[in-house]
Structures are given as structure tokens and as C-alpha cells.
């Protein structure tokens, strides 16, 4: 909600010009679990709840410099799915030892 309020009515967090904060936040959103949740069918930033933040993300995604920093959505979700399977598989293979052994 903080970011939603801060970007309301502005093209970028600093106003009309893209800044470092815009780049850092926009490139970090996919890596902060948003796409990991998305592959499970959960929208962490629903447009109806965060219209300004979604507008801001779409505006940034139009910029080539930003697109170069963020992997394509589908590719990133597939990567997240593969990682989840690796983690599940490793967890299933774990052998538990009791402290008494």
C-alpha cells in the first residue's frame, strides 16, 4: 500500500523522470516472490487493489532499459516451477537421523 500511495498520480516515483528507485523496485518485484506466487495462481498485486502500482509497472515495462532487466514472465514462471520441483525432490530424498544414533 505504501508504494501504491507514493506513485499515485505520477509517472514515476520521482515524478516525470525515471529514477534509480523506479528501476530497483521494478526489477525486484518479480524476484520478491510475486512470480513465484503467480505460478501457483495467486496474484500478489491485483489490479483492482493496486491500480496505481499496476499502471506504473506497465509504464515502466514499455521502456527497453527495463525490459532488458526483467526476464520474460513465462520464462521466469517456468524457472520458478523447476526450482520448486527441485526443492520438493530434495526434501523428499532427505534422510532424518535421530539424535540417539
11 secondary structure, DSSP code: S
For 18-27, the pLDDT digits (tens) are: 999 998 888 7
The CA-CA-CA angle for residues 87, 85, 67, to 5°, reads 100
According to the per-residue pLDDT averaged within each range, which of 41-50, 51-60, 74-83 is highest?
Answer: 51-60
Query: Is 88 a member of any domain?
Result: no
What mean pLDDT do residues 21-47 have? 77
Query: Is 94 a member of any domain?
Result: no
Of 28, 20, 19, 36, nearest in space to 70 by CA: 28
Looking up cell 532487466 gives 69
What's the CATH code of the domain at 64? 1.20.1050.10
Query: Is 64 a member of any domain?
Result: yes
- How many domains, the chain? 1
| List of residues 6+ apart from 30 with CB closer than 8 A | 70, 71, 73, 76
Residues above pLDDT 70, as percent of the chain: 84
Q: Residue 66 above 90 pLDDT?
A: no
The residue ranking higher by pLDDT, 84 or 51, is 51
Looking up cell 525486484 gives 28
- Confidence at residue 53, expressed as pLDDT on a 0 to 100 scale: 92
Amino acid at each position: 500500500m505504501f508504494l501504491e500511495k507514493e506513485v499515485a498520480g505520477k509517472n514515476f516515483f520521482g515524478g516525470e523522470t525515471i529514477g534509480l528507485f523506479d528501476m530497483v523496485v521494478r526489477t525486484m518485484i518479480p524476484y520478491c516472490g510475486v512470480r513465484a506466487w503467480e505460478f501457483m495462481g495467486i496474484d500478489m498485486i491485483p489490479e483492482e487493489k493496486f491500480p496505481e502500482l499496476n499502471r506504473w509497472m506497465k509504464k515502466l515495462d514499455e521502456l527497453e532499459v527495463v525490459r532488458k532487466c526483467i526476464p520474460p514472465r513465462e520464462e521466469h514462471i517456468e524457472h520458478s516451477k523447476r526450482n520448486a520441483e527441485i526443492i520438493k525432490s530434495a526434501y523428499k530424498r532427505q534422510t532424518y537421523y535421530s539424535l540417539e544414533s
